[in-house]
């Protein structure tokens, strides 16, 4: 359908204006937060646009789909006459039942020339686009020219349909993670086939310049090194790593010392590889020792990283001898009261696939623990803390504990230090 020189161009202009509001409607449905929107570069030239009293309140497009897809407004010319839409009433328009597809509209050559458009009395407040999605995605406004004329939206009334953008979910924008699309840019496309080691003007002798991205670093950190008052024992949780940014050898030590004896310990020796922005995959072995019991060895496969909302998470699955399986999970969250006074909350669980009576471990959920530790960071690397740790045994594990006259639930005040270097 081609429209060349409308006798009266009023409907077309009204339609254009309504599209603006249609957009707004679509956005409202998808719950966007426009609070930071920057229109600072929209340019409407010298004049004010006044749509202040637009009334499309009862627009109705009835039962028929309207396809404007082939509309070409390119030769519209409003040069000579002022358009006054001030009395337009679209109040009975209804788009309820049919989808409108404006996707191919080309407004690129519209020219509003010398005259002011006054949409000041238009009322779109009762337009209803509820049922159908409108796809404007292909609209090209890039060459619209409003330079000389002006649109004043200052009186637009959105009252009846409050637009709530506060729930906008930017998750859709995929600012993080995700898979590279097939047409993603090749980062080596500009190399002309040369490498850092060879090609013209290379200084020879292989690649000479190495930066810290190829350096190996290390860290040793004691997340917990504490006295547990209830059991009068020393508990420790140490981690260390050595390697580059993306490939590291990691070691995790957990254990308890009482009466000067290492009661039990768990050592994970892992290859830790960065797989996602905030997550490492870990593969290796775990070694358990008990003063009274039998040592156990396991294969370990886990993930460690940072979940949204800053939860530090560490989950590992284990496969042991004679079909033993186990899972251990831990999560931590930190709350800064001040820059140095920090409350760390933690929860953890262990579960096993088989009874291990000699070590006091039962099938199923074996234990849950939760702790709160308040530390003061004299430096980011050294912080003494006090706190409380609660631990409960369940199922067969609890039965074994009872049989040994051990408590199934312990709550202990703890005091210790946290440090790294």
**Using CB under 8 A, which residues numbered 184 to 203 contact another protein?**
184-188, 190-192, 194-196, 199-203
Yes or no: say if 50 and 16 are a contact pair by the CB < 8 Å rule: no
Closest to another protein by CB, 306 or 415: 306
Q: Which of 10, 20, 8, 12 lies closest to 152 in space, CA to CA?
A: 20
The single residue among 5, 162, 177, 323 that binds another protein, judged by CB under 8 A, is 177
Rounded to whole angstroms, what are the CA distances from 82 to 44, 119, 144, 365? 18, 11, 19, 79
Cα separation of 223 and 371, whole Å? Answer: 13
The single residue among 4, 10, 283, 335 that binds another protein, judged by CB under 8 A, is 335
107-131 burial, b for 16+ CB within 10 Å, e for fewer? beebebeeebbbbbbbbbbbbbbee
Q: Does 411 bind another protein (CB under 8 A)?
A: no
Cα separation of 299 and 324, whole Å? Answer: 10
Closest to another protein by CB, 7 or 182: 182
**Using CB under 8 A, which residues numbered 286 to 325 contact another protein?**
306, 308-310
The single residue among 5, 162, 179, 321 that binds another protein, judged by CB under 8 A, is 179
**Using CB under 8 A, which residues numbered 388 to 407 contact another protein?**
none
Q: Does 208 bind another protein (CB under 8 A)?
A: yes
Cα separation of 320 and 339, whole Å? Answer: 43
Token output for 368: 């849950």
Cα separation of 111 and 78, whole Å? Answer: 7
Q: Which of 312, 322, 257, 251 lies closest to 286 in space, CA to CA?
A: 251
**Using CB under 8 A, which residues numbered 361 to 390 contact another protein?**
380-381
Closest to another protein by CB, 168 or 368: 168
The single residue among 336, 409, 413, 415 that binds another protein, judged by CB under 8 A, is 336
Candidate segments 182-190, 292-300, 391-399, 404-412, binder of another protein by CB under 8 A: 182-190
Q: How many residues bind another protein (CB under 8 A)?
A: 89
Q: Does 46 bind another protein (CB under 8 A)?
A: no
Q: Shortest gap between Cβ of 83 and another protein (angstroms)?
A: 20
Q: Does 277 bind another protein (CB under 8 A)?
A: yes
Which residues 6+ apart lie within 8 Å of 396 measured at CB?
A: 355, 361, 362, 363, 364
Candidate segments 26-34, 83-91, 116-124, 352-360, binder of another protein by CB under 8 A: 26-34
Q: Shortest gap between Cβ of 87 and another protein (angstroms)?
A: 29
**Using CB under 8 A, which residues numbered 234 to 253 contact another protein?**
245-246
The single residue among 60, 68, 98, 141 that binds another protein, judged by CB under 8 A, is 141
Token output for 279: 């997550």
Q: Shortest gap between Cβ of 217 and another protein (angstroms)?
A: 5
How far from each other are the two terminal CA atoms of the chain, in whole angstroms?
74
Q: Shortest gap between Cβ of 306 and another protein (angstroms)?
A: 5
Site string for another protein, 60-99 (x = CB under 8 A): ----------------------------------------
Q: Does 138 bind another protein (CB under 8 A)?
A: yes
Which residues 6+ apart lie within 8 Å of 40 measured at CB?
A: none
Yes or no: say if 376 and 385 are a contact pair by the CB < 8 Å rule: yes
**Using CB under 8 A, which residues numbered 93 to 122 contact another protein?**
none
Cα separation of 242 and 219, whole Å? Answer: 7
Candidate segments 90-98, 137-145, 151-159, 257-265, binder of another protein by CB under 8 A: 137-145
Closest to another protein by CB, 38 or 259: 38
Cα separation of 165 and 232, whole Å? Answer: 55
User: Residue 409 pairs with which residues in a beta bridge?
Assistant: 392
Candidate segments 149-157, 211-219, 287-295, 354-362, binder of another protein by CB under 8 A: 211-219
């Amino acid at each position: 359908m081609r429209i060349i020189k409308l006798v009266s161009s009023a409907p077309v202009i009204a339609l254009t204006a309504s599209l603006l509001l249609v957009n707004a409607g679509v956005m409202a449905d998808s719950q966007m937060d426009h609070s930071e929107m920057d229109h600072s570069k929209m340019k409407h030239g010298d004049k004010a646009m006044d749509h202040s009293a637009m009334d499309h309140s009862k627009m109705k497009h009835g039962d028929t789909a309207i396809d404007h897809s082939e509309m070409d407004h390119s030769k519209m010319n409003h040069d000579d006459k002022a358009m006054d839409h001030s009395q337009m009433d679209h109040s009975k328009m209804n788009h309820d039942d049919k989808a409108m597809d404006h996707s191919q509209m080309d407004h690129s050559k519209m020219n509003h020339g010398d005259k002011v458009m006054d949409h000041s009395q238009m009322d779109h407040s009762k337009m209803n686009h509820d049922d159908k999605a409108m796809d404007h995605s292909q609209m090209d406004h890039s060459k619209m020219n409003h330079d000389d004329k002006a649109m004043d939206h200052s009186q637009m009334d959105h009252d009846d349909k409050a637009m709530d953008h506060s729930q906008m979910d930017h998750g859709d924008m995929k600012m993080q993670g995700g898979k590279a699309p097939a047409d993603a840019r090749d980062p080596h496309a500009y190399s002309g086939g040369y490498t850092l080691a060879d090609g013209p003007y290379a200084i020879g002798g292989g690649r000479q310049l190495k930066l810290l991205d190829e350096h190996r670093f290390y860290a040793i950190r004691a997340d917990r090194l504490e006295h547990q008052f209830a059991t009068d024992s020393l508990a420790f949780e140490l981690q260390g790593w050595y390697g580059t940014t993306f490939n590291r050898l990691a070691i995790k030590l957990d254990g308890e010392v009482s009466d000067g004896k290492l009661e039990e310990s768990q050592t994970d020796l892992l290859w830790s590889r960065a797989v996602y922005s905030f997550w490492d995959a870990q593969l290796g072995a775990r070694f358990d020792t008990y003063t009274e019991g039998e040592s156990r060895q396991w294969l370990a496969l886990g993930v460690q990283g940072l979940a949204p909302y800053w939860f530090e998470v560490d989950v590992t699955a284990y496969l042991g001898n004679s079909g033993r399986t186990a899972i251990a999970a831990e999560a931590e969250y930190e709350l800064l009261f001040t820059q140095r006074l920090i409350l760390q909350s933690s929860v953890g669980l262990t579960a096993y696939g088989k009874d291990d009576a000699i070590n006091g471990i039962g099938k199923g959920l074996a234990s849950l623990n939760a702790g709160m530790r308040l530390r003061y960071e004299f430096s980011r690397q050294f912080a003494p803390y006090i706190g409380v740790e609660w631990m409960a045994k369940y199922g067969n594990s609890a039965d074994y504990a009872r049989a040994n006259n051990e408590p199934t639930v312990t709550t202990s005040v703890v005091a210790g230090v946290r440090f790294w270097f």
